[in-house]
Amino acid sequence: MTGEELKRTPLYEEHVALGARMVPFAGWEMPVYYGGIIEEHNAVRGSAGLFDVCHMAEFRIFGASAADALQRLLTNDISRVSEIGDAQYTLLCDEDGHMIDDLIVYHTGELEYMIVANAANRANDWGWLDERLPESVERVDESDRTALLALQGPKALSVAREVAGEGFEMPERFQVAGADLDGVPVLLARTGYTGEDGVEIVSHSSHAVQLWRLLLSFPEVAPCGLGARDTLRLEMGYALYGSDMDRTVDPVSAGLGWAVSMGKGEFVGREPIAQVKASGPERRLAGLTVPDGIPRHGYPVLHGEEEVGTVASGGFSPTLGHGIATAYVPSALSVEGTRLAVGIRRKTVPAVVTKPPFVRDTSLFRG
Amino acid sequence: MYPSDLKYAREHEWVRVDGDTATIGISDFAQDQLGEVVYVDLPSEGDEVTAGDTFGEIESVKSVSELYAPVSGEVVKVNEALEDTPETVNEDPYGDGWMIVVRISDPSQVDDLMDAGAYEAFVSEEA
């Protein structure tokens, strides 16, 4: 990205006015925090937080054969989201069965789907899909004119209900519905990346500021930056593209086999993924509890004296008050309770394999 | 923001000289840049630190930074409380957030440090 102009979301001025610390992220100038990562993290676990995720990419795919085409390009079974309003986590894999991106597909209308993709992968995903979708399937990259806000936390739904007004029926988890928020037409999706219940709100980018201010007018809602987004998702063990997933690893090794449907028929990457599934992956993404240090991306993971892997995602868990991580390790060492260690510069500190989520007492699990 | 009784290093540590000892911490600017401190790794009493070399590490949620010794000497006291309450570095960087006390081996090194006015000017260029 060096030398390239950073892009700004429609909410840039709002962030600056709130005193956000802005950092470059995936080619965008984004808020990492306003007050502090821990206080924002705790706001989401305890009340509600609002995130600007306008940098993420949105593609609209529609037409009579849209579902068939996506069925062949994505790993999950799109027939499971056959109803309008259904949503699904899925993966885009290459012919080697390696992950190009992780996506959420929303069934937004008659023969119409919206794909939300990672900001860093926008051009790559779009190129991949555009090249492989048949002519009969329409596709539009809506990212530039689409705003995406995430409202997350135990109080997120009550705020969303209030702004959506009486008579609005809140979608179920992994469902999406049209709504009118203060006169703004939006899609309200009951999805998120924090481990809390909540909604993600899709609108035209021209309405982003109005929605942002409306939601922040609720005292229970705090503006939250990408720093808290990362600590929140890490506590859940949610995979992050670029850290836990990339073009060298398959979904099964990443613990994402549940997002791959082997029974649906042919799709890109099926054969190599089936082979990994049959033989069992050599390495698996394991969760690590690290009580005495903060493991970070790239740090070595040790078994005895031997280096057996590197930290994929790592950091400080504000809820637990210590370090947590994910790391690819030999499958035999990925068993819960296995004692490993992490090299943190001059020191080696203990690490215990722990099945994520690292934090279970959240509104998502309490229901 | 930058108390006038302290001396400051380019790496954003401060020094409070008292006779032949120096108390060392990090400046308000440094703690603000780091964000919420969650871990501080300090040397032990009896260790020698060397001016310009690292004497420990400080971690916020987002990043790790080295701590650089502004002066050389033997560590005679360590702020053990930071192990349990590292956030004190944010809350009171010049008071309870101090890190180590060293017995200064070369007093002339203190003269090489900045006074509050010079440090403030230095920081405003960096910010």
Q: Are A318 and B61 within 8 A, CB to CB? A: yes
| Confidence band, pLDDT 50/70/90 cuts, at residue B1 | confident
Q: What are B119's two structure tokens? A: 């440090």
pLDDT value at residue A1? 46
How confident is the model over A112-142, as pLDDT tens digits? 999 999 999 999 999 999 999 999 999 999 9
Distance CA(A53)–CA(B95), nearest Å, equals 39
Give the range of the structural domain holding residue B45, as residue numbers without chain letter.
7-118
The distance of A346 to chain B (nearest Cα, Å) reads 10
Which residues on chain B are in Cβ contact (under 8 Å) with A34? none
Total tally of structural domains belonging to chain B: 1
How confident is the model over B97-115, as pLDDT tens digits? 999 999 999 999 999 999 9
DSSP state of B99: -
- CATH dotted code for A12-54+145-235: 3.30.1360.120
Compare CB distances from A38 to B59, B61, B64 and report the shortest one's residue. Answer: B61
Q: Residue B10, CB half-sphere, CA atoms under 13 Å: how many?
A: 5
- A59 has pLDDT over 90: yes
Average pLDDT, chain B: 95
In this structure, which CATH number among 3.40.50.300, 2.40.30.110, 2.40.110.10, 3.90.180.10 belongs to the domain A282-367?
2.40.30.110
Q: State the span(s) of chain A assigned CATH 2.40.30.110.
A: 282-367
The string of DSSP codes covering A337-364 is: T-EEEEEETTEEEEEEE-PSPS---SHH
Q: State the span(s) of chain A assigned CATH 3.30.1360.120.
A: 12-54+145-235
Is B126 contained in some domain? no
Residue A30: alpha-carbon gap to chain centroid: 16
Distance CA(A42)–CA(A238), nearest Å, equals 18
What would the mean pLDDT of A15-39 be, rounded to a whole number?
Answer: 96
What would the mean pLDDT of A26-37 be, rounded to a whole number?
Answer: 96
pLDDT value at residue A179? 97
Q: Considering only CA atoms, which of B57, B55, B59 is closest in space to residue B38?
A: B59
| Confidence band, pLDDT 50/70/90 cuts, at residue A2 | low
Size of interface A-B (CB pairs under 8 A): 33
Compare CB distances from B36 to A38, A315, A345 and report the shortest one's residue. Answer: A38
What would the mean pLDDT of B72-87 be, rounded to a whole number?
Answer: 97
Cβ of residue B38 closer than 8 Å to a chain A Cβ: yes
- A281 has pLDDT over 70: yes
Is B125 contained in some domain? no
How confident is the model over A75-124, as pLDDT tens digits? 999 999 999 999 999 999 999 999 999 999 999 999 999 999 999 999 99
The distance of A137 to chain B (nearest Cα, Å) reads 43
Q: What are the backbone angles phi and psi of residue A11, rounded to the nearest 5°?
A: -100, 10
Instruction: Say which CATH number the domain at B69 has.
Output: 2.40.50.100
- A3 has pLDDT over 70: no
Is B37 contained in some domain? yes
The distance of A319 to chain B (nearest Cα, Å) reads 12
The interface predicted TM-score of the complex, written ipTM, equals: 0.85
Q: What are A102's two structure tokens? A: 């992780």
Is B30 contained in some domain? yes
What would the mean pLDDT of B39-67 be, rounded to a whole number?
Answer: 95
pLDDT value at residue A160? 98
Compare CB distances from A316 to B41, B57, B61 and report the shortest one's residue. Answer: B61
